[in-house]
Amino acid sequence: MANPYRDEFIQLFTANITREGSQKLLAWLDTTDFYTAPASTKFHCACTGGLVMHSINVYKTMRERYFEEGENEESYAICGLLHDVCKSQFYKTSTRNVKNEETGQWEKKPFYTVEDAFPFGHGEKSVYLIERFMRLKPAEAMAVRWHMGGFDEAVKGGSFSISLAFDRYPLAVKLHLADLEATYLREKGTSDIR
């Protein structure tokens, strides 16, 4: 079965991202589970194709809500579409026993688990993976690195670097806000697991 989100992602990517190395990055995504992976274990887009669905939603939210005349279209596409590339090859499908309340019988139900083969952090891992193929501008790297905002492990640990990044790079704030809106408002009810 064709994944309509895959086709839309590729169309948005090729129409907006022309930087040297971008086509190699796009080809690499086909060697991963990027187009079939979930975006979370049980919260938003915890479904087949959820990661690519979320990536498109964040890009569209960011573009619709925060783009200002004169800003770089390519930067918005890079940040929105690729901010969570770190989640490819990250989730695994497993099963657990769940009691069917109607029958009283235990049934095997699928769920997602995290199996991080390259534990490099979240935003920093996405920056690393993107830069294996194409160079990011400083504002793009900061936006992708800090897109988790207060949910980032470094921030939870007491790092204040995010404040400097948000102060100096408005693109980072815009990506974080678009990610929040897509996750908590636009993607409500998109989980197959909950």
Whether 29 is in a domain gets the answer: yes
Q: Residue 119 has which token pair?
A: 């534990």
Whether 194 is in a domain gets the answer: no
Domain total in the chain: 1
- Is 191 a residue whose pLDDT tops 80? no
Q: Residue 83 has which token pair?
A: 């901010």
Per-residue pLDDT averaged across 165-169, rounded?
96
Whether 112 is in a domain gets the answer: no
Whether 71 is in a domain gets the answer: yes
Q: What is the pLDDT of residue 194?
A: 55
**How would you classify the pairing of strands 106-114 and 91-99?**
antiparallel
Distance CA 62, CA 68 (A): 11
Confidence of residue 137 (pLDDT cuts 50, 70, 90): very high
CB 5 within 8 A of CB 56: yes
Poorest-pLDDT segment among 12-21, 40-49, 183-192 = 40-49
Q: What is the pLDDT of residue 142?
A: 97
pTM: 0.88
Per-residue pLDDT averaged across 105-126, rounded?
85
Give the other-Cβ count within 10 Å of 149's Cβ.
17
Please give the residue range of the domain that contains residue 9: 4-89+121-186
Give the other-Cβ count within 10 Å of 48's Cβ.
17
Whether 52 is in a domain gets the answer: yes
- Is 30 a residue whose pLDDT tops 90? yes
- Is 135 a residue whose pLDDT tops 90? yes
